[in-house]
């Protein structure tokens, strides 16, 4: 029997990159996956890969930074699968600049996607999880649920040029530790995975098509200088950048039944790189 057989997992930002790899990994281990991304096309691409591999998945396109969308996402998941066992707050992107060039719009966007949206999703999910957990306890049942939030090495140590991104990724650490204390009574493990250098569009060479995103009418230029990855790999003891599959594997660890007594923790997944 697969480790996550019968579990229902919600994954945001699953239309590409790390989010897609997480959804694929959880589905491959038996979970039914309900995914979200901005664009229906990206959602459909991920769903097709999961279904082609024999997995069970459904999706919901929409901007989770908009009020009401997190509630609609959670409701759609419950309408499709009837339960919530795992929540992975993965959606995110970087809109970088130094502080003297930072606009209020940029800063707020980073807080909205990395902190506000996850909090709204957890709040919405709580309207189902909390009464369900109370009833399970009254019935003498033990049902474990998992929340995995996503942070970054930038949130742990800061990074020049990423004032907004670092602030958002640091804030989700506080959310994680607080939710671990609030939801422990409901048998929910709440942990966080902080990624180092992972091969995604955020680390693609500057100016390439894959390093540019269109979000709410804004052209977001991500990416890094061509020699950035090679220079940073020198700081990684394992000698390479991580893959989306490496990232997904770390999230999967916190979804396992064996992680049942681990909560409020932050796992740095960086190949050994520290600042």
- 93 labelled catalytic: no
Residue of 93, 165, 186, 252 marked active site: 165
User: In the chain, how long is the greatest CA-to-CA distance?
Assistant: 59
| C-alpha to C-alpha distance for 253 and 259, rounded to whole angstroms | 7
| Residue labelled with tokens 């996956």 | 33
What is the 3-state secondary structure of the chain?
CCCCCCCEEEECCCCCHHHHHHHHHHHHCCCEEEEEECCHHHHHHHHHHHHHCCCEEEEEECCCCCCCHHHHHHHHHHHHHCCCCEEEECCCCCCCECHHHCCHHHHHHHHHHHHHHHHHHHHHHHHHHHHHHHHHHHCCCCCCEEEEEEEEHHHHHCCCCEHHHHHHHHHHHHHHHHHHHHHHHHCEEEEEEEECCECCHHHCECCCHHHEEEECCEEEECCECCCHHHHHHCCCCCCCCECHHHHHHHHHHHHCHHHCCCCCCEEEECCCCCC
Quick one: which of 273, 190, 168 has its CA closest to 231? 273
| C-alpha to C-alpha distance for 105 and 107, rounded to whole angstroms | 6
Whether residue 43 contacts residue 36, with contact meaning beta carbons closer than 8 Å, is answered with yes
Active site residues: 165
């Amino acid at each position: 029997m697969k480790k996550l057989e019968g579990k229902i997992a919600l994954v945001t930002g699953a239309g590409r990159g790390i989010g897609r790899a997480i959804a694929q990994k959880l589905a491959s281990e038996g979970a039914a996956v309900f995914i979200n991304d901005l664009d229906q096309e990206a959602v459909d691409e991920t769903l097709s890969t999961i279904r082609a591999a024999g997995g069970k998945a459904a999706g919901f396109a929409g901007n989770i930074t908009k009020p009401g969308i997190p509630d609609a996402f959670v409701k759609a998941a419950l309408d499709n699968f009837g339960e919530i066992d795992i929540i992975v707050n993965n959606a995110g992107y970087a809109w970088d600049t130094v502080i003297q060039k930072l606009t209020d719009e940029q800063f707020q966007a980073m807080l909205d996607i990395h902190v506000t949206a996850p909090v709204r999703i957890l709040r919405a999910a709580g309207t189902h999880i909390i009464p369900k957990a109370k009833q399970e306890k009254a019935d003498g049942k033990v049902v474990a649920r998992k929340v995995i939030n996503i942070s970054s090495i930038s949130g742990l140590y800061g990074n020049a040029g990423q004032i907004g991104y670092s602030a958002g990724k640091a804030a989700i650490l506080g959310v994680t530790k607080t939710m671990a204390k609030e939801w422990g009574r409901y048998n929910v493990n709440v942990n966080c995975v902080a990624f180092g250098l992972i091969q995604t569009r955020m680390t693609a060479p500057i100016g390439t098509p894959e390093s540019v995103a269109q979000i709410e009418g804004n052209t977001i230029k991500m990416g890094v200088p061509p020699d950035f990855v090679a220079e940073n790999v020198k700081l990684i003891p394992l000698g390479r950048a991580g893959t989306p599959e490496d990232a997904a594997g770390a999230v999967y660890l916190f979804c396992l039944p064996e992680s049942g007594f681990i909560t409020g923790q932050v796992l740095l997944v960086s190949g050994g790189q520290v600042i």
